[in-house]
Structure formats: C-alpha cells, structure tokens
Amino acid sequence: MAPFLVLAAVSFTLKWPLWVGLLCLLLAGYVAYFFRNPYRQIPGDERDLVSPADGKIVHIGRDEQQRWVISVFLNVFNVHINRCPMQGTISEMTYTEGKFLAAYDPRASSENERNAIRISQGERYVDVTQIAGLIARRIVCWKKKGDQVGRGERYGLIRFGSRMDINLPGDAVLNVAMGQKIRGGSDILARLPEHAHAESLAS
C-alpha cells in the first residue's frame, strides 16, 4: 500500500496527469481493503468447528477414510485471513510446491502450491490446507509445528484469489451446504459428537 501512496503524493507534487495520482490512490485503497483483518465473534462451543476462511463452498465429499472434505473458494474480494477450525496442537505441517491453476479448478487441491497443517486434539484431528490460486502466489503461515492454537485463531493468509480445503472427522455433523457463502471464524462448518469431545479432553 505504501508504494502506491508515495507515487500518488509524487504525482500530485510534480503535477503529473490527474489520473495517475487517482489510480495510485485507488490501488492503495484496494490493497488496504484486501488485507483487512476484521474482528470476528467466535460462535458455539469447543465441539463446533468453525470455518477457516471467508468464501463459497464449492465441494463437499468424503475421502478414502470416509472423513469429510470441504473446499472453500476465496475470490479477490473476500477477507483472506485464515483461521483454525478447532483448538489443539499443530502436529504436522507440510508445504508443497506446485502449479497455479485457477482456485476453483478441482485439480487445484492436488496440483497447486499449498501448505497443509494438522490440528490435533487427543486422537482426533482436522487438516486445513491453504491453496494458492491463479493470482495468489504467496501463502503465508504464521504458525509452526508444535504450536498451540485456539478455535477461530488467525494463523495465516493467502494473497488474492485462492482456495482452502478442510478435512474433518467423519462423524462430525455438517452445518453447511454446497454453494453456501461462509465467513471465517463466524460460521460453524460442523459439530463434533459429544463423546468425541469428551475423549479429546481425556487424552
């Protein structure tokens, strides 16, 4: 944002064409808008798994282990801060170099640049994967393996249009549907069964 503001100031000072200064101000405003980091009230209790991102749900399915897999597409106008779905410990973190296919392309999950973390709570875990898109070519993660994280806590961001995949326990009860627009930290993706939460606390 700062470079655009400097250019705008220079353009007005040196009396460059008015449109140059206005364009720089517009770009600075968009960058500030894109990197906004709004406060979110975290709903529910520890059994509720919250959305890790703002965006639109473009896939709901099951993997080979019958765990839930949810994919969220983030367009360039969404908040791009990423949050932890549940409280726990980051037990695994894997960065993979890859392509930069459009984030809404189903192949993006397996072929694009991505960073996956596993948040463990006893014997249970949630995998969250940040996936770069056609425009977003920079994944940022502020956490490291072994860190303790809270439910709804901010842990990173993906610049510009991107995608997030969330892998949840198969016995979780989903609270979302295909095509639904969700907000990170504010919307509940799924709810864990009561016995599962008790087991996690006892572990």
Q: How far apart are CA 22 and CA 30, in angstroms?
A: 12
Give SS3 for 167. Answer: strand
The catalytic residue positions are 162
How much is the pLDDT for 137? 58
pLDDT tens readout for residues 155-199: 998 876 688 999 999 999 999 999 999 999 999 999 999 865 544
Q: Which DSSP state fits 18? A: H
User: Does 94 score more than 90 pLDDT?
Assistant: yes
Q: How many residues does the chain have?
A: 203
How much is the pLDDT for 80? 83
* Residue indicated by tokens 């490291």: 144
Please state the pTM of the whole predicted model: 0.78
Rg (CA), the chain: 19
Average pLDDT estimate for 101-118: 83
Among residues of the chain, what percentage have pLDDT more than 70?
A: 74
Burial (Cβ within 10 Å: 0-12, 13-18, ≥19) of residue 45: exposed
How much is the pLDDT for 34? 55
Average pLDDT estimate for 144-161: 91
pLDDT tens readout for residues 35-47: 656 788 999 999 9
